[in-house]
Structure 1
Amino acid sequence: MPPRPPAAPPQEQVDADVARALAEDIGSGDVTAALLPDAADCAYLLCKQDAVIAGRPWFDTTHRALDPQVRIDWRVREGDHVVAGTVLATLQGRSRALVSAERTSLNFLQTLSATATTTARYVAAVAGTGACILDTRKTLPGLRVAQKYAVRCGGGDNHRMGLFDTVMLKENHIRAAGSLAAAVQAARAQQPTLPLVVEVEDLEQLQQALAVGCERILIDDFTPAMRRDAVRIVADLAPEKRIPLEVSGSVGLDGLRAIAEDGVDCISIGGLTKHVQAIDLSLKLGPPPG
């Protein structure tokens, strides 16, 4: 049985994204669509390459913003893997609205499907290792909620949403505090209810982070030997003292499996959301072929 699609994003967020996108595209009005007769028509959504689909809420909201009565019949679910040539959905509505919504709805769907497709490749590369794939904050401006939703469609997990929901101590924070322990103490005192992630640069700092405690330890740019040592150090601790290890820093598909097989818990990858190539989609008026 295929996995269930991730929980739908907040509708108010989708509405805001769509309103902003339509405003920049349509402005004071679609002067070309105005040339068409405003008659009932149909259309179909075609995917021209293999992909993992994500972005239906934004696609639907775009079309319903211009034609509240439009009917959209999806043939695939969020997170489904499809092959080139798949008809994803059919639409029935007003011809002008279908044409005016076309580009904005496709922009959302092609970008979010690209994020999901890229994520699925990374998830497949570590299958069976126990490592989970995380995104980062390296998202397209204004589309963070959307892209992080697409990462979940592709089988990945989300890192922090922003600077407000997780405390993450890095080199500069530790330096300013005077020590890793002092930085952790200050973070716990100021934000006692938020998750705490600590980035370490060497095995000595790893030992310090394990001693003071946190929710996750980020081993950034460790060599393979250091990474394996870090995994052994944590594995030798009593279960209640173990802290999940996250790998980050210049991680691509090449070598990803080896990192996961070392026994780390998480691998965070900025490329899930910043190195994406839009999926080739088209919306065509008329009934689908066949």
Structure 2
Amino acid sequence: MSELRLDGFDLGAFVQATLAEDLGSGKDITSEAVIPADLRFEGVMDSRDPIVVAGLSIAAGFFRALDPDVEIEMLVDDGQRVAAGTDLMRLRGRARAMLTAERSALNTVQHLSGIATLTRAYVDAIAGTGATLLDTRKTIPGLRVLEKYATRMGGAANHRMGLWDAAMIKDNHVAVAGGVAEAVRRARAAGIAEIIVEVDRIDQIEPALAAGTTRLLLDNMEPATLRGAVTLVGGRVPTEASGGVRLDTIRAIAETGVDFISVGRITQSAPAADIGLDFASL
């Protein structure tokens, strides 16, 4: 597996900042006191639950930062669904370095694999409907690129990466602008190519379409209302359902015919995957 490369993400800087947070201005006083400097370890990272894997290359970066000569064998790929008890990564290297890097590496791969695993559950729930699962901007500050990478590993597509790559006109924008149509008109006048408009009432749909919206976000609508909205739009622009979507409700939402369903829970509420790392002296 090659080093992970993502737009807007600097792996080296992330690794150094994370290790600095753990080490402070000092060092790993426990490992230096207890572990001989020349001792070498062999370790295996494994999953204790069935998961979708994400973040292994990032985890490897922590070990390489502290021991450039560490031997790392990737046993699975990001995006792969694995059974409980699956070995994910094998390592050989300096014991102190491994122990110092362990927590940062595990925290990262546990968090990202947890997101990928929950995302896959949502994707599986709408299989065959034609709807595409989207993530949202509900991410931990500083981790958006990684968390959105994890949702892709789980089978979702990315929504906006930030405030810069598409306009999303929400209720507060509409209130200030004086209406849906006027808000869309202003966005078009500003030269914005992609304009997503959030509507929570059926009577807002035609004004938004007439003004030139490129996608409609149908907010907090029940399936029957969604179905009527999709029929009214008639394929003129893509439709997206959002708001309060849960794993037990997403199938019914998808079956209304919407093109996209955005779910904040897949990043905001994903539990960490149960992944461990066991070492033994060489």
TM over 0.5: yes
Number of the residue aligned with 1:246: 240
Question: What is the Cα-based RMSD across aligned positions, in Å?
Answer: 1.7
| Correspondence 1:48-127 to 2 at 5 A | 48-127=48-127
Structure 1's 284 and 250: CA in aligned 2 closer, same or farther, altered over 3 A? same
Shift of 1:141: 2.0
Q: What secondary structure, in the 3-state scheme, does the structure 2 residue paired with 1:282 have?
A: strand
* Native 8 Å contact 2:41 2:95 kept in 1: yes
Alpha-carbon distance, 1:117 to partner: 0.1
Deviates more, 1:125-134 or 1:39-48: 39-48
Map Cα deviations across residues 125-152 of structure 1 (whole Å, 9 max, x no partner): 0001110011111112221111000000
For the 8 Å contact 1:14–1:57, the answer to whether it is kept is: no
- Given that 2:241 and 2:258 are in contact with CA atoms closer than 8 Å, whether structure 1 keeps it comes out as yes
Whether 2:22 is the aligned partner of 1:25: answer: yes
Provide the residue aligned with 1:206 in structure 2. 205
Structure 1 stretches of 4+ moved >6 Å: none
Structure 2: any 5+ residue segments left out of the alignment?
Answer: none
Aligned amino acid, residue 258 of structure 2: V
Distance 1:280 1:63 in 2: 20
Q: Which amino acid aligns with 2:260?
A: C
Contact 1:45 1:89 in 2 (8 A): yes
User: 2:72 aligns to what SS in structure 1?
Assistant: strand
Q: Which amino acid aligns with 1:286?
A: A
- Give the C-alpha shift of residue 17 in structure 1: 2.3
- 1:286 alignment partner, SS class: strand
After superposing the two structures, state which structure 1 stretch, 50-59 or 103-112, moved more.
50-59
Distance 1:72 1:10, change over 3 A: farther
Q: Is the 8 A contact 1:17 1:142 kept in 2?
A: no
- What is the match of residue 135 of structure 2? 135
The equivalent of 1:165 in structure 2 is 165
Aligned residues: 276
Stretches of structure 1 that go unaligned for 5 or more consecutive residues are none
Residue by residue over 1:150-201, the C-alpha shift from the partner in whole angstroms, topping out at 9 and shown as x without a partner, is 00000001111111222110111111111212111211222x2442110012
**TM-score, structure 1 as length reference:** 0.91
Letter in 1 for 2:21: E
Mapped partners of 2:200, 2:111: distance in 1: 34
* Residue 223 (structure 2) aligns with: 224
The 1:99–1:11 alpha-carbon spacing in structure 2 relative to 1, beyond 3 Å, is: farther
Residue 155 of structure 2 is matched in structure 1 by: 155
- The one-letter code matched in structure 2 to 1:230 is A
Range moving further from structure 2, 162-171 or 115-124: 162-171
Distance in 1, Cα, partners of 2:185 & 2:12: 40
Alignment partners' CA distance in 1, 2:157 and 2:13: 24
Greater Cα offset, 31-40 or 153-162: 31-40
Letter in 2 for 1:258: A
